[in-house]
Amino acid sequence: MKQSILLDGPKFQITIRRLCQQLIENHSDFSNAVLIGIQPRGTFLAERIARELKEMTGLDVPTGILDITFYRDDFRMKGTSPILANSTQIDFIVEDKAVILVDDVLWTGRTIRSAMDAIQAFGRPLKIELLVLVDRRFSRQIPIQPDYIGIQVDSIDSQKVIVSWEEADGGDSIELITDKK
């Protein structure tokens, strides 16, 4: 197995700050915008973005957590192991808001499609934007493109992109893992 570090340390933090700058350019005072992290790993990025925005602007951007378990297209497929649901915490109105969905890695697009279905249970957003830390752009199965991208990674399906978070894994990094055969 070959591991390549794509991003870590100060460059990881700079990437998050750059994403925040782009959000500030597009949403200025965030009076009509909310952040929603997709369970499980998008929540770390959403919380980090919210903290960084608070530091940069002094604004508390409403931030929620969305579980997509029951909206997944593979939820009831035969031969799959039972999926444990996570929690959803959205204590604000999404109706007529710009909802910024946040996830760590965009790969096939199926997670994002599920999240768009799930968010409709909370109202009809004015628009939905997508912020991802890593865009694996050549692996889409559904035509979904992010509005905000930390880094783009050209990888093949057999490779894995692993995002580690200080909060859960003891450090911030993005790694590309290739199985040698």
| 90-131 pLDDT, tens digit each | 999 999 999 999 999 999 999 999 999 999 999 999 999 999
The better pLDDT of the pair 156, 151 is held by 151
Quick check: 136 and 109 in contact, CB under 8 A?
Answer: no
- Cα separations in angstroms, 171 against 50, 104, 114, 166: 19, 15, 29, 4
| Per-residue pLDDT reduced to its tens digit, 58-92 | 999 999 999 998 887 765 555 555 566 788 999 99
Q: Which CATH architecture has domain 8-155?
A: 3-Layer(aba) Sandwich (3.40)
Q: Could you tell me the residue ranges of all domains in the chain?
A: 8-155
Confidence of residue 181 (pLDDT cuts 50, 70, 90): low
What pLDDT was estimated at residue 179? 84
- Cα separations in angstroms, 62 against 26, 97, 152, 154: 16, 11, 27, 33
| Residues 6 or more apart whose Cβ sits within 8 Å of residue 79 | none
Order of strands across the sheet that contains 98-106: 63-66, 33-38, 98-106, 127-135, 148-152
**Taking the model in full, what pTM does it have?**
0.92
